[in-house]
Copies of this chain bind each other. A is one copy, B any other.
């Protein structure tokens, strides 16, 4: 279980004063496993930090769905598409375990960024890191083979292997569950 301060420090080290202001605007919320924190087609208005638990975002319906992202303790969770543009989101975010979050409304965050330059820096750092995550993901998908992507995932995000079923990991890598099973069997 991470503290809010640990989550925030993981993004950008705010000075004490701003950190205190900022922290006062979060509330703690918990949901059981399988809850859809954010649903496709709905607008979401908050961003969350994961204090405890794990979750993933996925796109598509039952007949075909792909995992976009896995998250766990310390990670930022939101549907940026919805929050930024005020549009309906395209993906679902589902808890794979019971989770506790620190939640802040995007509107509130926005006001804080205007009021406190340091919190603006915080948000900027957050966006920049998120940007790099996706850019990197594209590079991985285009450049490396399925086996290489799997190896890198096991190295960089071992929590994924512990906490998510094979089918979801396979769709994250862009392959089927059977192919991933065979990749694993090879070694």
Using a CB–CB cutoff of 8 Å, the interface residues on chain A facing chain B are: 59-60, 64, 66-68, 80-81, 84-85, 90-91, 114, 117, 120, 123-124, 127-128, 130-132, 134-135, 137-139, 141-143, 171-172, 174
Q: A130 to chain B: which residues have CB within 8 Å? A: 131
> Could you tell me if A174 and B142 are in contact, using CB atoms closer than 8 angstroms?
yes
Interface of A is mostly: helix
> Could you tell me if A138 and B139 are in contact, using CB atoms closer than 8 angstroms?
no
Q: A84 to chain B: which residues have CB within 8 Å? A: 128, 131-132
Q: A128 to chain B: which residues have CB within 8 Å? A: 80, 84, 127
Other CB < 8 Å A-B pairs besides A59-B142, A141-B142, 15 of them? Answer: A60-B143, A66-B143, A80-B128, A80-B132, A81-B132, A85-B132, A114-B117, A120-B120, A123-B124, A124-B124, A124-B127, A134-B134, A141-B141, A141-B174, A142-B172
Q: This chain: how many copies in the complex?
A: 2
Given A127-B124, A131-B131, do A139 and B59 touch, yes or no (CB 8 Å)?
Answer: yes
> Could you tell me if B138 and A134 are in contact, using CB atoms closer than 8 angstroms?
yes
Bound together, the chains give a CA A123 to CA B67 distance in angstroms of 30
Out of B66, B123, B139, B174, name the residue touching A66 (CB < 8 Å): B139
With a 10 A CB-CB cut-off, give which of A60, A123, A124, A172 has the most chain B CB atoms. Answer: A124
Given A120-B120, A124-B124, A127-B131, do A142 and B81 touch, yes or no (CB 8 Å)?
Answer: no
